Amino acid sequence: KILITYSGGDKVCQNGLEAKTVMQLSCSTTVGVPALHHIDTLNCTFYIAWETRAACAVKPQKVQMVNGTITIPATQKALSLGEVYSKLSQASGDIRPNGDIYVYDIQLSGITNTKGICKSASVCQVKDDKIFTRNVGSSNDVAYYILDDDLDVEFSSGSQCGRDKTKATSSTIFFRCSQSVGVGKPEFIHETDDCQYLFSWYTDVICPLTPEFIGKDDKLPGEEGLSGRSQAVGAVLSLL
């Protein structure tokens, strides 16, 4: 089971306390939907239960990236990430309550067309004033993991976390199969309290990881949709 707590909500309870929500994710065979379980009026806490495949334990397999190519453990076939690995992309959607807007330059192979702190970074945070930049994911401190039919890429960095000075920033990109978007682009999801920046990237590049491709030729079939786990994770991430 996974517990996620949201605090600092509106004062909707009669006792004047700020609302808090506790979401419990538990493993199931379907994507599922969240449902209100109960409300603790004394502590102004809302409890939500969600039975979903996204909460099921999947042992990640660490794989080595060599010049933009990984080896699929299940087939021992080479999978090239192509433009996803070598091309500079940008993720948007990080708009803060105070009006600050951030975008994220992302290049798995390392950003080369920049100077300063983000040179050779893989994930660079850029404020809309174009003055503030921060390396939140280093290209020389990265790990690639295959989880079921998905690819997760985790970056560390030496940049200090503004919310917790004892920690450093990090980034995770969740790559998910979608044959309808082509190469696709990264999207900002969320920044955690300990300065972990989360991104999703739907792309057809990693579709050979999905079960319908295992044991088949590398040519992509026509119109298969997202894999089961990709749908589940996508549904959960869209609400967190």
Over residues 137-173, the pLDDT tens digits come to: 999 899 999 987 889 999 999 888 888 888 899 999 9
Distances (CA, A) of 211 to 60, 82, 150, 201, 222: 16, 21, 11, 19, 15
How far apart, in whole angstroms, are the C-alpha atoms of residue 83 and residue 61?
Answer: 23
- When pLDDT is cut at 50, 70 and 90, the band that residue 224 belongs to is very low
Higher per-residue confidence, 62 vs 214: 62
Residue 217 pLDDT > 70: no
Chain center to CA of 73: 22
Residue 236 pLDDT > 90: no
pTM of the model: 0.68
Q: What percent of the chain has pLDDT over 90?
A: 52
Average pLDDT in the chain: 85
Provide the 3-class DSSP secondary structure of residue 90.
strand
How far apart, in whole angstroms, are the C-alpha atoms of residue 197 and residue 172?
Answer: 6
